[in-house]
Structure 1
Amino acid sequence: MIFVILLSIFLIGVNFSNGWSPTNSFAPGKVSCPSEKRSFLRSSSYLNTEEMRWVEERNKITNANLKKFLKYSTSLEKAGGNFSVDDFFANYVEGQRAIKIGLAFSGGGYRAMLNGAGQLSAFDNRTTKAFEKGLGGLLESTTYISGLSGGSWLVGTLILNNWTSVEEILLKREYSDIWDLKESILFPEGINIFETIRNHKTVLEEVEDKRDAGYEISITDLWSRALAKDYLGRYEDYGDALTFSDVREFDVFKQQAIPFPIIVAVGRAPGTTIIDVNSTVVEMNPFEIGSWDNAIRSFFDIKYLGTKVSNGVAEDSKKCISGFDNASFLVGTSSSLFNGIVMKLKDMNLGDIPIIGVIEDILDKISEDENDIGVYKPNPFYQNEFGSSSSISNSDTLYLVDGGMDDQNIPLAPLIQQQRDVDLVVAFDNSADTDNNWPDGSSLVHTHQRQFGVQNNSSFPQVPLSPEEFVQQGLNVRPAFFGCDTEEGPLVVYIPNRQLSYASNPSTYKLKYSSKERASMVSNGFDVASRAQHQLDNEWATCLGCAAMRRTELRNSLEQPGVCQQCFERYCWRR
């Protein structure tokens, strides 16, 4: 009861430049329709042209960095034999098919965000000890990065703050307003209840701007703006007008200096409350929103999300909308699992608490049918000719929920599509599958099972048949490689959260972390990704390098170097 009361509180109601949403607020606004683009919709049978060009340029950077990593951070050229990294790249990679790596960060609230931050920092050359004690250089070798729920908070934080490093966020004073979790999102001003109420009334006013502009709002809008204070503190008004399509204009993005970011949510069919493994997975990136799944099978230009369209064509060619792709709203949508808890407030007798009246006022202003999910109205896929779901294409609204609610808590779907040709996916699992908040492989099991369903034709490697089998084989407490011997789809390296230097399994609903707790969580994440800074396996960097090369070897019928064969004996799971 105490937790629910506290959760209700937040529902009350570098100097970055402005000018994102045309209204310079959380509300979308009218813009001119682009003359060169008749339709904002395309089929998912091919990769977006803008993404394709972007990735081609990114490949030049990532493959140069991967070559350095393999030469200087692994024992490939030192373990005997005559393997040459330079020859491997010259003969099979450069000018042919680049090696593409994707990182996927699971959901799990702040636990996932902080553990994920440590795991990512172990791959980041900018981290002080990443070269000697971690896997520095692999982040710089990465093409794609995906996150959902708490993982999207991590990805969103770094992308929207100019690809700031985790180490800078933790150590530099100028970043002290990012991930300041000493006071929870419920009581951002600590015991000063009046300031807390004032802050959350500001959130309500921001969201009301959107409603007053004619758009439906839900608890997700409120959650999104409250959450923004954790990671958009360097922006004026916590980036209330910042859009995800604005990332296109960031120098680090235009120069392909960062991985291509993807946030994942799940679609809920109109008129239902059912979400399962066959629900539609929706991804959002700086160029598009859409799905590879059969239900939608198309993508929409995210910059013009909010424009009323039919089969992708604006109903009024002189009236388009921009600003609906608010960055905090997209990140909040991916983590909307908190909404269901919030909605119970109206049915509870919480006593004579002054702010309850304000909460009820907020809830009364929101549609009863769609108040617990992200409401995307107008529907960008209205009358969509490509998708198989008439319930979606005939609805004027697209409903999206937390990206992990379909039991696929690791955002793998965007990275296993054949159109992207990813060679290696590193899946960081910070889920709370067990009673003690540890992962048990459920996400991999469900993603594997999903490929045989009605939604998608993606290929995913064999994994244990159930979470119970996963745990029985000890795969929930150590890294494992899946798909070691097949060319279909990417090889998946699974890295589950476990306690090495700190008890990194707090509840998903723990919303307050001291500076020491925050640092300890990140440090344990670093240890998990680096195998206790190589103490558990001094060839761990080499083994990940071998995993990155494996698809190229299989495509070209190459024999693995001896050290790679040894790595695969240790880490490959085979039925």
Structure 2
Amino acid sequence: MRLDQLSAAITLICYAVLPCYAAGHGRRAVDAYAPQRATCPTSSIVRPASSLATGEAQYITARKVIADPALASWLKKVNDTFDTSLLPTLGLAGSSGGYRALLNEAGILQAMDARDSNSSVHGLYQAFIYHAALSGGGWLATSLAAWNWPTISYLQKTVYEPNLQNGLLLPGGFYAPLAYAQTLADVTAQAAAGYPVTAGDIYGRLLGYNLFPGPDGGVALTMSGLTSSANFTGHKVPYPIITSTGTNASSSGNCTEPPDATQYEYTPHEFGSWDKGVNSFVQMSYLGSNLTNGMVHGKCASGFDNLGFVTASTSNVFGFLCDPLYSSAGDFASLADALQSAILEVAGPASSGLFNEIPNSFLEYTHASAVSSAKLLTFGDGDLSLQNDPIKNTFLQAEAQGLTKMPTIPPTSTFVAEALGTQARFFGCKQPNTITIVWLPLVSYSSSAGSDISTFDIEVSEANTDSIIRNGNLIATQNNDLQWPTCLACAISMKTAKSLPAACDACFAKHFVS
């Protein structure tokens, strides 16, 4: 289907296919997307950001019991002289970049997964406590979660190879018209239930058909529902955090994000931000509830935290289209136009915005001064506020918010002058009160990998999917560098070990950034 025909096709489906399809087959799926009313808990569902959520803290404690032995085993496998008496908490962070990020990071994770690889770093994935991600990296994290954290090999054959070649435009391939019809029925039901609907909702449903299980694109999956997944309840996987950036967007067309835009996070337990202007969290299962100063009006919302919606919220880069430099973003620009046209058909001009919108859980809430007057919060990709690699602006924003655990990141000019993007780099090694960041830049190790595809590419061939994942394997092993496992182990251990092997000196000389 040609892109310039997409909007007309969606409109045609809305009028000609939707009534019979929704009436005959779509009732369960429609109800699954539209939030329902639920009885609220007796305790408050909003809290100030003074500590981890109880559920998250309990998960991390239980996860560390499993992850620490895995880390100790991996370190001893690399070099049996590593001190494992005290072990750090490891987190995996996935960057943005659309399908490029999804597939390269899938390859990195695959190489580190003891279930799926015999690489020099296999077994390290089992030691991670957290998996934080955004945008294309968020697509990897949510697709893993949606399928109950299988191997990458499984997702590659079952999901990525067949679905990404169709891309966002032909969900379900031949069955795309039915998927469009159901998607429009879903968002129409949400609008009828009185909740905001934007192009971000349709975008999320299309991503669901691309990444999630079931013939309906995983429409019933929610972020809070991940707490009942078998691998989650068994604490067998890293705790997922999906991040998104608060925008100044509105349905009137303003779609800018300042460099100091608020950073929000979605976890299976809560939604909110540690930033000074929000400094609050709401229970994830009740996201979308009508709240004033932390008090619920009537019943709570249930099911607003649709997993596809969350996946769209972290990767919604449609705001780029307001910049003339991106007006020719090809297929992606046409996709945005088609989504807006579809929303106009089903929800009217009052809901024609490009970004994802959520009823503000922090309306008139004392701790959330920056957003306390907003009835809706709008969200988009962090790239729109320059939260991209190199990660200098992220460091500056963390510093401005008083978040002191991130190590110093040099300016972009240093990255260029010293060619820091050519191999793995360590940040924070000499800053004892910060975390250590091991940065794995995207490097195309094979001319046939095709790994540096555009963020705006909305389909990837099966062959390219496989080659990009293989390139991710090579990123994880630094192109099969025999010294890399030792160097990685040195970076992991340096702030907790009583002493380090002598080989670490050469590793720090090669990879450390002062």
Instruction: Using structure 1 for the length normalisation, give the TM-score.
Output: 0.78
Match of 1:334?
314
From 7, 22, 26, the counterpart of 2:33: 26
1:167-206 → structure 2 map (5 Å cutoff): 167-171=153-157, 175-176=158-159, 180-188=163-171, 196-206=176-186
In structure 2, the partner of 1:227 is 207
Q: Give the alignment partner of residue 58 of structure 1, picking from 56, 59, 63.
A: 63
Separation (CA, whole Å) in 1 of partners of 2:386 and 2:352:
21
1:473 counterpart = 2:418: yes
RMSD: 2.9
Contact kept, 8 Å, 1:115 with 1:525, in 2: the verdict is: yes
Task: Tell me what 1:283 maps to.
Answer: 265
Aligned residues: 485
CA distance, structure 1, for counterparts of residue 135 and residue 394 of structure 2: 17
Per the alignment, residue 128 of structure 1 pairs with 117
Give CA deviations for 1:349-374 in whole Å, capped at 9, x if unaligned.
xxxx9xx9997353253445761111
What aligned pairs does 1:402-551 form with structure 2 within 5 A after superposition?
A: 402-409=381-388, 441-442=389-390, 444-453=391-400, 455-465=401-411, 467-501=412-446, 502-532=449-479, 534=480, 537-551=481-495
Report the counterpart of residue 283 of structure 2 in structure 1.
301
Deviation for aligned residue 1:503 = 2.6
Bigger mean CA offset, 4-13 vs 537-546? 4-13
Answer yes or no: is 1:42 the counterpart of 2:47. Answer: yes
Would you say 1:396 and 2:378 are equivalent positions?
Answer: no
The one of 223, 230, 248 aligned to 2:227: 248
The SS at the match of 2:422 is coil
- Distance in 1, matches of 2:369 and 2:277, equals 5
**How far apart, in 2, do the equivalents of 1:189 and 1:300 lie?**
35
Task: Report what 2:243 is aligned to.
Answer: 264
Amino acid at match of 1:64: P
Q: 1:130-157, CA deviations, whole angstroms, 9 ceiling, x for partnerless residues?
A: xxx3311111000000111111100000
**SS in structure 1 opposite 2:453?**
coil
Q: Aligned equivalents of 1:358 and 1:58: distance in 2?
A: 40
Q: Give the match for residue 99 of structure 1.
A: 88
Cα offsets for 1:284-332 (capped at 9, x unmatched): 000000001001001110101121112222123xx11100001110111
Partner AA of 2:34 in structure 1? A
State how far apart, in whole Å, the 2-side matches of 1:176 and 1:102 are: 25
Cα offset, 1:542, TM superposition: 1.4
State the distance in 2 between where 1:477 and 1:362 align: 43
Q: Which runs of 5+ in 1 are unaligned?
A: 14-20, 78-82, 347-352, 410-440
Say whether the 8 Å CA contact 1:459–1:488 is kept in structure 2: yes
Whichever residue aligns with residue 303 of structure 1, its letter is S
- Corresponding residue of 2:354: 372
2:106 pairs with 1:162: no
Cα shift readout 1:191-243 (whole Å, capped 9, x = no counterpart): x6xx54443232111111111111110000010001111111x2252221211
Moved more, 274-283 or 152-161: 274-283
Structure 1 residue matching 2:282: 3-state secondary structure? strand
Unpaired segments ≥5 residues, structure 2: 15-27, 328-333
Which deviates further from its counterpart, 235-244 or 491-500?
Answer: 235-244
**1:28-79 CA deviation, whole Å, 9 max, x = no partner?**
00111123x2x1111212111221111011011111000000111x13x3xx
Aligned to 2:189: 209
State the partner residue of 2:24: none
* Separation (CA, whole Å) in 2 of partners of 1:148 and 1:154: 9
Amino acid at match of 1:27: A
* Counterpart contact for 1:29–1:321, Cα < 8 Å: yes
- Whole-angstrom distance in 2 between the partners of 1:170 and 1:358: 28
Report the alpha carbon displacement of residue 343 of structure 1 after superposing the two structures with TM. 12
How far is 1:479 from its partner? 0.6
Aligned to 1:274: 256
| Alignment match of 1:152 (pick from 115, 125, 138) | 138
Amino acid at match of 2:116: T
Q: Which residue of 2 aligns with 1:420?
A: none
**Contact 1:218–1:366, Cα closer than 8 Å, also in 2:** no
SS at match of 2:503: helix
CA contact (8 A) 1:22 1:30 kept: no
1:411-461 residue CA offsets vs partner (Å, 9 max, x unmatched): xxxxxxxxxxxxxxxxxxxxxxxxxxxxxx43x1112222342x3433322
Q: Does 1:111 align with 2:55?
A: no
Q: 1:383 aligns with which of 364, 370, 381?
A: 364
Distance of aligned partners of 1:301 and 1:402 in 2 relative to their CA distance in 1, 3 Å threshold: same
Segment drifting more, 266-275 vs 55-64: 266-275
Contact in 1 for aligned 2:272/2:280 (Cα 8 Å): yes
The AA in structure 1 aligned to 2:269 is F
Are 1:89 and 2:84 matched, yes or no?
A: yes
Q: Which TM-score applies when normalising by structure 2?
A: 0.87
What whole-Å deviation, never above 9, does each CA across 1:482-510 have from its counterpart, x for those lacking one? 11111122101111111112131111122
Does the 8 Å contact 1:219/1:339 carry over to 2? Answer: no
Name the CA shift for 1:188/1:552 in 2 (closer, same or farther; >3 Å): same
Partner of 1:437: none
1:447 to 1:342, Cα distance in 2 relative to 1, 3 A: closer
The amino acid of 1:388's aligned partner reads: S
How much identity, in percent, do the aligned residues show? 29
Deviation at 1:6?
Answer: 6.7
Partners of 1:357 and 1:154 lie apart in 2 by 25
Amino acid paired to 1:105: G
Match of 1:325 among 302, 305, 308: 305
2:511 paired residue number: 571
User: Is the 1:305–1:321 Cα contact (8 Å) retained in structure 2?
Assistant: yes
CA gap of 1:51–1:543, structure 2 versus 1, over 3 A, is: same
Check whether the contact 1:178–1:231 (CA below 8 A) recurs between aligned residues.
no
**Quick one: which amino acid aligns to residue 506 of structure 2?**
Q
